[in-house]
Amino acid sequence: MFNRELKKGSIQLLILALLENRERHGYELGKLIEARSGGRLVFRLHSLYPTLCRMEEMGLLKSRWVEKPGTRRRRFYRLTAGGRRALERKRQRWTQYMQAVNQIVGLDDA
């Protein structure tokens, strides 16, 4: 549906946003993106999982194994302080970028 490069550029922002208020496990993140975008954004494990790993390496996320009663052991990801700052920055930049593009292509409200 969307161009691969376009998706690639936004995946970190999406993950950070989804983890803003609570911790989630990897599969859940993929499902949420697909559901909330109305099926227009689909990230398979193939691209999502390495991104999670990289973000963890970069110190944006932290993960832990959680065993809840009645379910199997899952790995949950949550934002670090650095992750929160990054989310803030990326959100701002995204907005500015969108505004700039919209201004040019004529979708701006103003």
Footprint of other proteins (CB under 8 A): 25-27, 30-31, 44-46, 49-51, 53-54, 57-59, 72-75
Nearest distance from residue 82's CB to other proteins, in Å?
A: 11
Which residue number, 6 or 107, has a Cβ lying nearer to other proteins? 6
Which residue number, 39 or 59, has a Cβ lying nearer to other proteins? 59
Nearest distance from residue 20's CB to other proteins, in Å?
A: 20
Q: Which two tokens stand for residue 47?
A: 């691209």
Q: What is the 3-state secondary structure (H, E, C) of 4-59?
A: HHHHHHHHHHHHHHHCCCCCEEHHHHHHHHHHHCCCCCCCCHHHHHHHHHHHHHCC
Strand partners, 79: 61
